[in-house]
Structure 1
């Protein structure tokens, strides 16, 4: 279990910043946004070689600069106890394997629990002084891996490099696809008079999805996908556009499948650069056991 009662980061000051201010270092080297800098100035703590300092103070080469970030406000999310499949955790990030049927964040009326609510309860139990910062979100009925930043600074660093976060999926679509692999390059826009549904449209935002057949089944095709962009319902819209809607995706033309909740879409791989260590991370997850019903259908 990772115990974290505060967010604290330490840097060794290089010769390039000898004689320059702590403020300069935090904005240029630590990549602080103006918002985070203001939060640290108003409610955090800054130490140089263990001694508390002002942000205008000057640094010397070899100094150890430490920032203790302030406790975070938690907003309107109410903590709720519920099952969490945490597959990776350190002081900066969490990766959670979300089940199908659980929304990532609470609905507008807060009528049902969410992954964010469960995470906040987990934080409260462990006395983490943070709120929940979801980096990669999944639809309610999509299962799989979600990346969560542990604190505000980690969240800022990850969102700055969001294009480098790779999400890969497995899905089961209706019918037998003819192309073994390909790239869907079709813009996506919101459906007129709908706040939920999307469609392929010329005036939509650029959207690109790579796909490759994993195996053919009797009435379905098991495929792997990689998102090159991150539009709402991107996989669901693109596969429906190809006349191969996701199994169970009734919103986009698919038929319900007995034993499968929602659409058969699972984020099985996350690749990202750790916000602090800069190490490339790879996290994997198997599709839900309920998908075995498809494997039993022979081509």
Structure 2
């Protein structure tokens, strides 16, 4: 994989190293990988990275081949691809499938299917999950096709905006609201989270979309990204998600876990800077609750 930059008048005089760290926004780790195992050329010629650049120079970075860990293996299986280019993959994940392999690696997972998809295209990358979903949460996910794209998308700048839909028990008192309660891990558990004074700051916005006979369809936006944040916050205000037995929800035979779906995703493309927007309808089985 390679990327090309053209040096503007304002960047003239910078060393190649400084250009890559500031203009190309390389992390120190990415820079070290390229320096050790990749290649950098200016106007088609390999040069020392301390040399200054001139206006109009063409800087090309050839990124090193990525190593794949032994914990994920290519595996054929359905993969609902919403968008794909040389940098990104956006998929619509079904519920009841994990994103990464289980400890015993006995169950299918999204990561393995992505590697199989890459192999069919001759892509040597490993899997870089940008927006991960729980096993039983469905909807839109972003995957970077290389480490550089993953680094750009996971920096502190807010390049991705996600909205979820959920079926929650009962009727919410207000049409919209903000839940701002800290979340921490439950003592003695590696899975469960809870609202706690010693937790990390967490903020969720919600808006009622429809009320049904005994549950409510809610649209939610995460302002922070804590594990199980929506599930914990909705349970905390007395409206656990349908099927979310881990947090007090009533078991639903029709659902494989909690009724939670990433329905809207907007992102700034890490390379082109184009704004991309995607939508996804919740699973059809939710219609039974109307």
Q: TM-score range by the shorter chain?
A: over 0.9
| More displaced 10-residue stretch of structure 1: 171-180 or 54-63 | 54-63
1:145-156 paired onto structure 2 within 5 Å: 145-156=140-151
Partner Cα separation in structure 1 for residue 265 and residue 15 of structure 2:
38
The number of residues matched between the two structures is 289
Q: Secondary structure at the match of 1:160?
A: coil
1:115-130 paired onto structure 2 within 5 Å: 115-130=110-125
1:221-260 paired onto structure 2 within 5 Å: 221-260=216-255
Aligned to 1:59: 53
| Structure 1 residue runs without a partner (length 5+) | 1-6
Aligned to 1:17: 11
1:135-154 paired onto structure 2 within 5 Å: 135-154=130-149
1:266-285 paired onto structure 2 within 5 Å: 266-285=261-280
1:35-184 paired onto structure 2 within 5 Å: 35-76=29-70, 77-161=72-156, 163-184=158-179
RMSD: 1.2
* C-alpha displacement of 1:162: 5.5
User: Which of the numbers 190, 194, 199 marks the counterpart of 1:195?
Assistant: 190
| Structure 2 residue runs without a partner (length 5+) | none
Partner Cα separation in structure 2 for residue 20 and residue 216 of structure 1:
59
Q: TM-score, normalised by structure 2?
A: 0.96
Q: Secondary structure at the match of 1:37?
A: helix
Could you give the per-residue CA deviations for residues 245-266 of structure 1, whole angstroms, max 9, x where no partner exists?
1001111111122321111000
Could you give the per-residue CA deviations for residues 191-220 of structure 1, whole angstroms, max 9, x where no partner exists?
111000001111111111111111110011
